[in-house]
Amino acid sequence: MFHRKRDLPSDWEDRIASFDKQWWDTDLQRRTKIRDLIEPLMFETRWEQARGFELTVDMQLMVSSQAVRLLLGLGVGRFDNVHTVIMHETTMISSGQRR
């Protein structure tokens, strides 16, 4: 099976800056690293919306950009064991024991 390489929207940085007011204060090298980590998270991970709400590219950018900043802070290269991201319209609280 062949997959076409998908690209971030051309205005991806402006979109991130719309919810991250410090984006343009971040140096270019760090922004480039963030982009390099966002791309595999957005395009190699399965994204699902719970209960039928519409999952947008902006939502994926917001979640991805925040998640990869955790990676940078932890010194981890990628989310290698993350295969699916499930987005809920509102806060979700799980109860019960986890295995």
In the DSSP assignment, the letter for residue 28 is H
The answer as to whether 51 is a domain residue is: yes
The answer as to whether 15 is a domain residue is: no
pLDDT band at 19 (very low <50, low <70, confident <90, very high): very high
The answer as to whether 93 is a domain residue is: no
The answer as to whether 17 is a domain residue is: no
The answer as to whether 10 is a domain residue is: no
Q: What pLDDT, in 10s, does the model give residues 64-95?
A: 999 999 888 887 777 888 899 989 888 878 78
Domain range for 62: 27-87
φ, ψ of residue 84 in degrees (nearest 5): -140, 140
The answer as to whether 56 is a domain residue is: yes
How many domains does the chain contain in total? 1
The answer as to whether 33 is a domain residue is: yes
φ, ψ of residue 48 in degrees (nearest 5): -130, 145
Close Cβ partners of 33 (under 8 Å, ≥ 6 residues apart)? 72
Strands 84-87 and 46-49: parallel
Whether the model clears a pTM of 0.85, i.e. scores above it, the answer is no
Q: What pLDDT, in 10s, does the model give residues 24-51?
A: 999 999 999 999 999 999 999 999 998 8
The answer as to whether 42 is a domain residue is: yes
